[in-house]
Amino acid sequence: MTEHYYSRKPSTDSNPVKWQSELKGNSFRFKTDSGVFSKKEVDFGSRLLIDTFELNKADGLILDVGCGYGPIGLSLAKAYPDAMVHMVDVNERAIMLAEGNASENKVNNVKIYESDRLTGVEEKGFNAILTNPPIRAGKKIVHDIFEQSFLHLAEGGELWVVIQKKQGAPSAMEKMKELFGEVDIAAKSKGYFILKSVKC
């Protein structure tokens, strides 16, 4: 089986790189590595999600599902210093990188831990859950993330998803509407959709 960035233990040889990026008005220095998603730069979809997202409660609970080396979760933790941001990934190498990047960028309002989808997330009552889902892992895993997110959100909590039109945006919208009763397109650019649903 071909290894992907959603493998628990990447066997790809480590080849770390460091680079800087500006996200939500703050400068970050990231260390990334082989075997994690978008190693050389913050991918367009994640950047669009970060730029579009607005937290509905300044001191709320945020969850970043599939955090990778940490660009979404860390940028939101820095933008919303009164919030607590949980960051989870199935990929052990990604978790180690996210922890290192949190330390490097002096971001303290985060909890970073391993979880396959949301199965390792014990906390409930999140005000916002964000994900750039692992499309190549298959529709079932992506839809599992949506279903489990619904259960972990507070009333009025929001699920934010970035997905390409050609990689399943229509079926993602259908699933989110089935779960939440509605889905909005919060932004779209270059074939990417930012989808948002509110738990009522």
Distance (Å, whole) CA 49 – CA 193: 9
37: pLDDT strictly greater than 90:
no
Pick the closest to residue 98 from 79, 112, 80 (CA basis): 112
Mean pLDDT of 172-186: 98
Mean pLDDT of 95-118: 98
Distance (Å, whole) CA 87 – CA 64: 5
Residue with tokens 């997905």: 163
User: Where would I find the H helices in 59-112?
Assistant: 71-79, 92-104
Confidence band of 2 (pLDDT split at 50, 70, 90): very low
What does the pLDDT read at residue 117? 97
Mean pLDDT of 120-137: 95
What does the pLDDT read at residue 3? 42
1: pLDDT strictly greater than 50:
no
Mean pLDDT of 97-101: 98
Q: For residue 120, give both structure tokens.
A: 């390792």
Cα–Cα distances (Å) from 90 to 34, 35, 54, 140, 177, in that order, read 15, 12, 26, 16, 26
Confidence band of 85 (pLDDT split at 50, 70, 90): very high
10: pLDDT strictly greater than 60:
no
What does the pLDDT read at residue 9? 63
Residue 31: Cβ within 10 Å count: 16
Confidence band of 11 (pLDDT split at 50, 70, 90): low
Q: Where are the domains of the chain?
A: 17-198
Q: Which CATH number fits domain 17-198: 3.90.660.10, 3.40.50.2000, 3.40.50.980, 3.40.50.150?
A: 3.40.50.150
Mean model confidence pLDDT for the chain = 93
Q: Per residue in 173-200, is it b (16+ CB within 10 Å) or e — as a string?
A: bebbeebbeebeebbeeeebbbbbbbbe
Pick the closest to residue 73 from 88, 59, 52, 60 (CA basis): 88
Segment 56-81, tens digit of pLDDT: 999 999 999 999 999 999 999 999 99
